[in-house]
């Protein structure tokens, strides 16, 4: 069903235009939820869009040309990876393109001789280092179940992946916390009113260049949702519920924890995240060998 060309156009359209809307709404929900958890009322649900529109209208005075180029590449590769994911392309390619975006974002941060943006960039590398193995293990686990790296094969499975990869829900939450830069791992830059080293890697961006980053966050949110939905591809509504559950967990964690150091993050991701996924992977390996 995914290779039908009319369908593909529709999906690409969804990925490029509808996904950021959904992502933005989720970000709005995130802000309201966070506010409620703190006993506040919180902003309107459309707040992320207001923020973005406002940033668009401002006159940027930011950074260097290289950073601006990098920010655009960041946006494009984020969209590209979402398109790759939603059109059922190779998952590993999707992960690589995603990583490319992050690398450009980091390079943008480095390209300005600014202390905050520089430290933010250094830490962003560590964030990538922390979640990258988890995402790849997730992809490998899917491969072991479907026998292919192509995403659309997931939809041909009879049983949802969740049954055989339950521990990856935990992994997804860890990925979300790190990827969305939520407490306790909001090291490189942060959401909401949190501040860490000013705004870390985005310190030198302003106006529409910062708006691009906000837009990327929206796509990022949508992408993580789709990734989570893969776990329950047989019924996408349950998949969506699963994704929302992960997001909810992430928000709760964000609000009940304080920021940790980057070494804590690496230790956590590699000493807890990696073993958990490895355990799940080992079980899958074991059964795929027994089957043979």
Task: Return the number of the residue (18 or 53) whose C-beta is nearest other proteins.
Answer: 53
Q: What is the DSSP string of 140-164?
A: HHHHHHHSSSBGGGGGG-SS-GGGT
Residue closer to other proteins (CB basis): 84 or 180: 84
Q: Measure the CA–CA gap between 248 and 104, rounded to whole angstroms.
A: 29
The residue from 3, 38, 158, 291 that contacts other proteins (CB under 8 A) is 38
By CB under 8 A, which span of 146-154, 157-165, 171-179, 234-242 interacts with other proteins? 146-154
Question: Is the bond into 57 cis (omega within 30 degrees of 0)?
Answer: no
- As a whole number of angstroms, the distance between CA 224 and CA 235 comes to 17
Token representation of residue 249: 């967990």
Place of tokens 């979402």: 82
Segment lying near other proteins (by CB under 8 A), choices 15-23, 38-46, 168-176, 177-185: 38-46
Closer residue to other proteins in complex, CB, 139/231: 139
Closest CB 63 distance from other proteins, rounded Å:
6
Give the pair of three-digit tokens for residue 153: 């094969």
The residue among 29 and 242 lying less far from other proteins, judged by its C-beta, is: 29
CB environment 158-171: b (16+ within 10 A), e (fewer): eebbbebbebbbbb
Residue 196, helix vs strand vs coil: strand
- Tell the smallest beta-carbon distance from residue 237 to other proteins (Å): 28
Cβ neighbours around 115 below 10 Å, total: 11
What 3-state DSSP class applies to 199?
Answer: strand
Q: Does 234 bind other proteins (CB under 8 A)?
A: no
Residue that is written with structure tokens 């997001």 in the block: 247
Q: 147 to 176, contacts with other proteins by CB under 8 A?
A: 147-150
Closest by Cα among 79, 80, 83, 78 to 103: 78
Q: How far apart (Å, rounded) are the C-alpha atoms in residues 71 and 108? A: 7
Shortest spacing between CB 269 and other proteins, in angstroms: 10
Please report, as residue ranges, which positions from 173 to 232 form the binding site for other proteins (by CB under 8 A).
Answer: 192-193, 195, 198-199, 202-207, 210
Q: 256-275: which residues touch other proteins (CB under 8 A)?
A: 263, 266
State the minimum distance, in angstroms, from the CB of residue 252 to other proteins: 18
| Touching other proteins, residues 45-84 (CB under 8 A) | 47, 49-54, 56-66, 68-69, 72-73, 75-77, 80, 84
Give CA–CA dist 112/67, Å, rounded: 7
Q: Which residues contact 250 (CB under 8 A, 6 or more apart)?
A: 173, 176, 177, 180, 182
- Closest approach, Cβ 72 to other proteins, in A, equals 4
Contact pick of 12, 14, 22, 129 for other proteins (by CB under 8 A): 129
> Which CB sits closer to other proteins, 49 or 168?
49
Given the rule CB under 8 A, which of 117-125, 166-174, 234-242, 249-257 is the region that contacts other proteins?
A: 117-125
Site for other proteins in 90-109 (CB under 8 A): 90-93, 96-97, 99-100, 103, 106-107, 109
Q: How many residues bind other proteins (CB under 8 A)?
A: 93
């Amino acid at each position: 069903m995914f290779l039908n060309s009319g369908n593909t156009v529709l999906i690409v359209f969804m990925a490029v235009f509808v996904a950021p809307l959904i992502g933005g709404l989720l970000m709005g929900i995130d802000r309201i939820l966070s506010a409620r958890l703190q006993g506040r009322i919180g902003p309107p649900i459309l707040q992320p869009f207001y923020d973005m529109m406002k940033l668009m209208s401002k006159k940027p005075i930011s950074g260097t040309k290289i950073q601006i180029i990098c920010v655009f590449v960041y946006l494009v590769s984020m969209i590209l990876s979402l398109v790759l994911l939603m059109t059922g392309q190779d998952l590993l390619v999707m992960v690589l393109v995603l990583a490319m975006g992050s690398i450009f974002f980091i390079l943008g941060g480095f390209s300005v001789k600014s202390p905050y943006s520089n430290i933010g960039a250094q830490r962003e590398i560590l964030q990538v280092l922390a979640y990258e193995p988890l995402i790849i293990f997730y992809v490998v686990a899917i491969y072991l179940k479907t026998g292919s790296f192509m995403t659309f094969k997931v939809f041909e499975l009879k049983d949802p992946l969740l049954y055989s990869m339950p521990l990856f829900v935990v992994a997804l939450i860890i990925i979300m916390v790190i990827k969305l830069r939520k407490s306790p791992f909001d090291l490189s830059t942060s959401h909401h009113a949190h501040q860490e080293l000013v705004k870390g890697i985005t310190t030198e961006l302003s106006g529409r260049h910062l708006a691009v980053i906000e837009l990327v966050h929206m796509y990022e949110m949508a992408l993580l949702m789709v990734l989570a939905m893969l776990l329950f591809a047989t019924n996408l509504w349950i998949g969506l519920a699963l994704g929302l559950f992960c997001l909810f967990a992430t928000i709760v964690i964000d609000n009940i924890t304080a920021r940790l150091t980057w070494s804590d993050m690496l230790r956590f991701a590699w000493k807890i995240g990696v073993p958990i996924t490895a355990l799940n992977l080992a079980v899958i390996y074991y059964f795929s060998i027994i089957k043979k």
